[in-house]
Amino acid sequence: MFTSTHQSLLLLDAPLSLAAVIGLFAAGCLLIMLWARSMQPHHLVLGFATTAVLWFLAYIAMLAPGLAVGEALFALMLAVLFMGGFVAGKMGVDDTGRAITPWKVGLVSAIANLLVLGAFLRDEKGGSQFTPLIYVVGLFATSMLLAWMGGMVARKRSTPSKPAPRAVGLFAIVAAGTVFLMLITGGLVTSYESGLAVPDWPNSFGHNMLLYPISEMKGGIFWEHAHRLYGMLVGATMLVFFIVLLRGEQRRWIQLLGAIALLCVIVQGVLGGLRVTGNFTNAVDGATLAPSIFLAIVHGTFGQIVFALLAVIAVATSKRFAEMIPRVRVGAALDRTFTVALCVMTVLQIALGACYRHLTIPPIGDVKGSTPAWAMHSHLSFGVLLAAFGILIAVRAIGLSDGVKPVRAMGKALMMLFILQVCLGLGALVTIMMRKDGNIPALEVILTTSHQVTGALVLAHAAMLATWTRRAFLSDAGVGGVPIIPIAN
């Protein structure tokens, strides 16, 4: 007698002990890393880039934007798979001369999408035991077919004239972009005050997190659980990126940065979980849980530091960075100091903003909320100082770039970001102060989340400017008998 899909998933969906979670996590990491070693790096890069975009489009579709928009998003998701294969076809061969096969991009994307397939299967309560097989076959067939079609179109339109860029540099950009999208989902969790909508971790309401039914992801539960799922994608992306980095990058210091980034992502995930539970437990009962505001602040700040670290790795693994010949310039040492100071100050400002967001008590009904005055005034005052200092550094980078395009570009980007950030911050403050009850206006959500993610962009660009400045310029102290030692490639 055939069992239903619902019944066949019950065993997997049972609450897991911490020991089981740790064991499954270790086994999963090992399998992902072994699989990554067997795949061609460019297939992994394009496959994970495609998956990150697919997940974000699915995230928007889950907001129930209406039938017309939903259908358009579905069509766009199919187009993304097609474009993944199209880009592979345009690339032709990798930097080692091996052919890049478009359908394998779809294969990688399908494998990555298995992370969320179980959540859809949990809603198939009346399906037969063959339903999971149908889902899996459909996922793989559709992904590989669309990617193959994209590759065929690309190769008929043009013939690649040069090898594709190095996979390591491309994957660093993909990893940073995936983390940035996760920062957006995390910002929405805080803006909608949904950080505790799911009371337990690593399970979700007692479910295996990867099998929590899509149909139950509503309201605050959606914001929080979707953020957790995207965090799973970030973790898988970082594991695969680290393997690609070890295979394709010989510089030890960049390998070390990659290892630190991977460790930071793992720590960030644990911080996010402990922010909810307060301790390592799989309990669901609120009496045994102790949510931590302090860890919420650390989690919100540390995630943006991780994003900046990946931005630095993306710069360091670029072809231009490797081939750049440092030049002597008066004041280079001062610029190095200033750009590092800008990074430190930005982290402090982000932490102050996190304190304000997480320590604010929102209004409930007729009961007025309260805000931590010290955090608000510190964030505002220090924000003015940081904006002035940041714009000064940006102007200096533009004016003293000495023909180094990345330095000039980072300076221009920072200036625009600081101006935008000040405007967003003022707008966010006004909308927060105007709220009278527990209903959160959409404008407040948009402005507060945009303010947060723009802060992450400011930190990332400050870190990239510091990296380019260190690479491009040597202090004039190296002239006059003291040897100048270029940064090793």
My answer on whether omega of the bond before 202 falls inside 30° of 0, hence cis, is yes
489 band by pLDDT with thresholds 50, 70 and 90: very low
**Residue 147: partners with Cβ closer than 8 Å, 6 or more residues away:** 50, 81, 82, 84, 85, 88, 102, 103, 104, 105, 106, 107, 109
- The reported pLDDT for the residue numbered 480 is 39
Q: How many CB atoms lie within 10 A of CB 195?
A: 22
282 vs 435, residue with greater confidence: 435
Residue type, 254: I
Looking at the predicted structure, is the pLDDT value of residue 22 above 50?
Answer: yes
List the structure tokens of 241. Answer: 């990126």
Provide the percentage of residues in the chain whose pLDDT is more than 70.
90
Mean pLDDT of 398-421: 93
pLDDT tens digits for range 51-100: 999 999 999 998 877 888 989 999 999 999 999 999 999 998 887 888 89
- Could you give the maximum distance between any two Cα atoms of the chain, in Å? 88
Contact 418, 452 (CB under 8 A): no
Question: 320 with 468: CB under 8 angstroms?
Answer: no
Q: What average pLDDT is seen over the chain?
A: 88
Listed residue (231, 472, 148, 221) closest to 339, CA to CA: 472
Residue 319 has pLDDT above 70, yes or no: yes
Distance separating alpha carbons of residues 221 and 118, to the nearest angstrom? 17
**Nearest by Cα to 105 from 119, 121, 94, 116:** 94
What pLDDT is recorded for position 365? 65
Q: Residue 28's pLDDT is what?
A: 86
- Position 128 scores a pLDDT of 64
**DSSP secondary structure letter of residue 283:** -
More confident residue, 118 or 409: 409
Placement of tokens 């720590």 in the chain = 267
Kindly list the distances between the CA atom of residue 92 and the CA atoms of 6, 36, 89, 163, 423, in Å, as whole numbers in the listed order. Answer: 44, 21, 5, 7, 44
- 3-class secondary-structure state, position 179: helix
The reported pLDDT for the residue numbered 481 is 36
φ/ψ (deg, to 5) at 198: -110, 115
Q: What is the mean pLDDT of residues 455-484?
A: 79
What gap in Å lies between CA 266 and CA 234, rounded to an integer?
10
User: Given its phi and psi angles, is residue 331 left (phi above 0), alpha (psi -120 to 50 degrees) or beta?
Assistant: left
pLDDT in tens, 176-220: 999 999 999 999 999 998 888 888 888 888 777 888 888 888 888
- Say which residue, 392 or 118, is predicted with more confidence: 392
The predicted model scores a pTM of 0.91
Strands of 294-380 (E only): list them. 327-329
Residues 127, 2: Cα–Cα separation, whole Å: 10
Q: What pLDDT score was predicted for residue 131? A: 77
Structure-token match 């032709």, residue found: 92
What would the mean pLDDT of 375-380 be, rounded to a whole number? 94
What pLDDT, on the 0 to 100 scale, is given for residue 244?
Answer: 96
| pLDDT the model gives residue 9 | 52
CA pair distance 411, 391, nearest whole angstrom: 8
Residues in the chain: 489
- pLDDT single digits (tens) 142-175: 999 999 999 999 988 777 667 888 999 999 999 9
